[in-house]
Amino acid sequence: MSVLEGGAPTPQSDLVKDTTTKTFREDVLTESVKQPVLVDFWAPWCGPCKQLQPIIEKVVKAAGGKVKLVKMNIDENPEIAGQLGIQSIPAVIAFQRGQPVDGFMGALPESQVKGFIERLIGPLGPGAAEELIAQALEAQAQGDAAGAAALYATVLAQEPDNVAALAGLARVELDSGNIEGARGVLAAVPDAKKNDPAIASVLAAIELTEKSASLGDTAEFEAKIAQNANDHQARFDLAMALAARDKRDEAVDHLIEIIKRDRTWDEDGARRQLLQFFEAWGPMDETSIAGRRKLSAVLFR
């Protein structure tokens, strides 16, 4: 037995069935209003069909009732396949709310079948959320904000309080310049998880962005420092402006310079700001790691 989300137990035997032209409307169109229904068009003489069927049945059953599989023998029931323009088998068409929404052809390996179904219903099984989050982080690193957001949304559809996905989606919003959108995402974080390092990091990044928003061009601060190397406020403002432009190494170096010259300035404000940089950028960021080394060298020399 498996359990439908928010519903009654669904027998494994009900997740996979055969259909005909006569029963197609009830088995597929009507049933797909409740959850996606995959239609596997096959024929007894088709070798790849025999390879695919045990794979797709396994993945459908592992989905726990979130998707169903209906098999149609096109030799006995050619009409539906003809209407859908299917010219090669095996062919799998996914129906949702009575409409075909996606599909594939050929005997795909299990990993690809699983990926196809996950696009419809979200993560399958233990570790799926972590895998999708890893894919989202990679998409972010490649500049694919839309792809990352879609992956995070897939995780959150199944796990609304997943902290890593919430933090990641908020970061996508922030990186796109939508501070309010980022705050809106973080509003969904449960109170018990608001102190999670991933959430704290995004909050620090939001605060840093807001602090830097009012700063103008760096030339003004650079000119002041050229006139007076001990103008710590100008150097501090320059560091903030550089951080806003993602010139992280230069921003760190200017704050380190303030600490070298006057550790007590603004009640140790340069060091405190440096730590906020590290929190906003994340502990594994290359600049955070290098910056902590520089800070340690100054503090413990």
111 in active site: no
49 in active site: yes
Per the residue annotation, which of 39, 46, 148, 155 is the catalytic one?
Answer: 46
Give residue 253's identity as a one-letter amino acid code: D
Q: At 198, is the secondary structure helix, strand, or coil?
A: helix
Per the residue annotation, which of 28, 37, 49, 259 is the catalytic one?
Answer: 49
Give residue 166's identity as a one-letter amino acid code: L
Q: CA separation (Å) from 144 to 4, 11, 148?
A: 33, 40, 6
Give residue 55's identity as a one-letter amino acid code: I
The 16-18 sheet, strands edge to edge: 16-18, 68-73, 37-42, 91-96, 99-105
Nearest to 41 by CA among 1, 69, 6, 9: 69
Active site residues: 46, 49
